Structure 1
């Protein structure tokens, strides 16, 4: 059964409280509380590891780290940290977080309809320091939830939906989701790929 049909039949399943409850039932781990607290716990060490890297990682995280250094907003700092983590793992931030200006809404809708899984963000201006107008989640081209308070909350809820709907991690983000599962959420952490294990050891 596709996500669109699931949403029509069981709309309550796509509510934030229900996703949190379902994740807790499946894993015995509190979803949002663990996701945010664990990322905060690893924040300083992760940033230190990322800043030490040269080459492509340094190049691709330069602007993100600049925003992180300028902002006092905890949600924006968490968002920057997650973006840096994705780059550090050798994956592409744009595969998970799709950012658009409000004036590009039609283009955004057309692109998101072809999207397997993503968090989308609509901004008034091309300025990360300004709060977004809209944050939501798309799965199988269907907007399943919106009006989320931050990009990090959206990523946590997407992670929970993957469990609640029994979906596979997207191949192009397999290391990102593996690190979220095993390092950040500490769900079934015993067996890790070499890349994620290396990160875990450094932390």
Structure 2
């Protein structure tokens, strides 16, 4: 028993040293990506134990595991946890279902139909990014979620009062104020921030990238899906990425059946 305890202490010390090396490396202007990946692989068990068992605050995780808040490591951590390629499989499934989803959007009536029609009017060039933006903004509308809590727009990114009470969300920084009627897609935002526990923890290049990163972070950090976007996140998990339970809630099952038509 004493020998096993000494071996365990040596392992813990080694992992602690590796983590410190990564923290120091991430302070550099251009961190060594290969080194970071190697050290993140080696410390996966320690990191999972911390986030799953200890459930530290996001600010504490940022300090201890700064590499985890990069796009590459979010994707790699997702792969470590579930064995899937987050970016590739998310985009492939989204692009596959997008034409049918846009057809479904056009069939909606009343207030839901009007909201979706306004969104579709903004999608003029029909490039891949705009289509993804449209589908990702329209999906929570047809699933009965509250995207207004998840998607936030601001002129002054330092105005933390807009998002300091949001557990999970995406913030769009606009160059000038845009009326709510034109804030539907945000595909031309000057910057996109990812919000966790009321803090901007990462930047993204576009809405689609921000969405799959947020989804990946829920796995990497062992977070609950935000209640106001629960149906949409369940759709990402169960329909797009085919993870977890196969039985779907009625709204998701109905939408999945419509996608198969």
> What is the TM-score normalised by the length of structure 1?
0.91
What are the residue-to-residue correspondences of 1:17-36 with 2, within 5 Å?
Answer: 17-36=72-91
| Pairing 1:105–2:160 present | no
How far residue 130 of structure 1 moved from its aligned partner, in angstroms, is 6.8
2:209 to 153, 161, 166: 153
Counting matched residue pairs gives: 198
Q: Which residue number in structure 1 is paired with residue 200 of structure 2?
A: 143
Change (3 A) 1:26 1:6: same
The answer to whether the Cα contact below 8 Å between 1:35 and 1:185 also exists between their aligned partners in 2 is yes
The answer to whether the Cα contact below 8 Å between 2:170 and 2:195 also exists between their aligned partners in 1 is yes
Q: Which residue number in structure 2 is paired with residue 86 of structure 1?
A: 140
Secondary structure at 2:126's aligned position in 1? coil
Distance 1:188 1:10 in 2: 27
1:133-163 CA-partner distances (Å, limit 9, x unpaired): 11110100121101x1110100000000000
Distance 1:75 1:58 in 2: 22
| Pairing 1:193–2:245 present | no
How far residue 129 of structure 1 moved from its aligned partner, in angstroms, is 7.4
Secondary structure at 2:189's aligned position in 1? coil
Q: Which has the higher contact order (CA 8 A, sep 6+)?
A: 1
| Pairing 1:171–2:223 present | no
How far residue 166 of structure 1 moved from its aligned partner, in angstroms, is 0.4
How far residue 171 of structure 1 moved from its aligned partner, in angstroms, is 1.2
1:161-195 CA-partner distances (Å, limit 9, x unpaired): 00000000111211111111111122125021111
Distance 1:153 1:78 in 2: 10
1:118 to 159, 166, 169: 169
Across the aligned residues of Structure 1 and Structure 2, the Cα RMSD in angstroms comes to 1.6
The answer to whether the Cα contact below 8 Å between 2:152 and 2:172 also exists between their aligned partners in 1 is yes
What are the residue-to-residue correspondences of 1:41-56 with 2, within 5 Å?
Answer: 41-56=96-111
Distance 2:87 2:149 in 1: 22
Secondary structure at 2:157's aligned position in 1? helix
Q: Which residue number in structure 2 is paired with residue 63 of structure 1?
A: 118
Distance 1:27 1:177 in 2: 16
Distance 1:44 1:130 in 2: 18
How far residue 56 of structure 1 moved from its aligned partner, in angstroms, is 2.2
| Pairing 1:134–2:191 present | yes
Secondary structure at 1:190's aligned position in 2? coil
Unpaired segments ≥5 residues, structure 1: none
